[in-house]
Amino acid sequence: GAVVSQHPSRVICKSGTSVKIECRSLDFQATTMFWYRQFPKQSLMLMATSNEGSKATYEQGVEKDKFLINHASLTLSTLTVTSAHPEDSSFYICSARDDITGGGEKLFFGSGTQLSVL
């Protein structure tokens, strides 16, 4: 089955540093990838849609200058949390659809990144 690899799985950093999270589709092409964030006891909330070769689409309330998304190839999207602060501490997870099969629109997920900003 389709596999999405996400790294790192856990990051602890100091306030003010930037953190990059990678999301790779290992055995399929993904023109579109999705970045979600989950706070404790809340649902997965879509932050942005990452589009290969073009600008990401951000959801309302998500700062594009804070959460930089780059989707430079059909298998790799990165999310950079710039100048992270404690309120950015959260669980971040990426997902993708298979361009070829569509997969019935189901998403394939990475395993997530737990970000803790001190």
Closest CA to 37 of 50, 22, 47, 51: 47
Beta bridge partners of 11: 115
Q: What is the nearest approach in angstroms of other proteins to the Cβ of residue 10? A: 11
Longest dimension (CA), the chain: 42
By beta-carbon proximity to other proteins, the closer residue of 77 and 84 is: 77
The token pair that represents 39 in the structure block? 């706070």
Shortest distance, position 111 Cβ to other proteins, whole Å: 5
Residues that bind other proteins (CB under 8 A): 4, 6, 32, 34, 36, 41-46, 49, 57, 93, 95, 97, 103-112
For residue 50, how many other CB atoms are within 10 A of its CB?
Answer: 25
CB of 21 to other proteins, least distance (A): 14
Nearer to other proteins, 40 or 86 (CB): 40
Q: With contact defined as beta carbons under 8 Å apart, do 32 and 50 qualify?
A: yes
Residue 49 or 70 having the CB closest to other proteins: 49
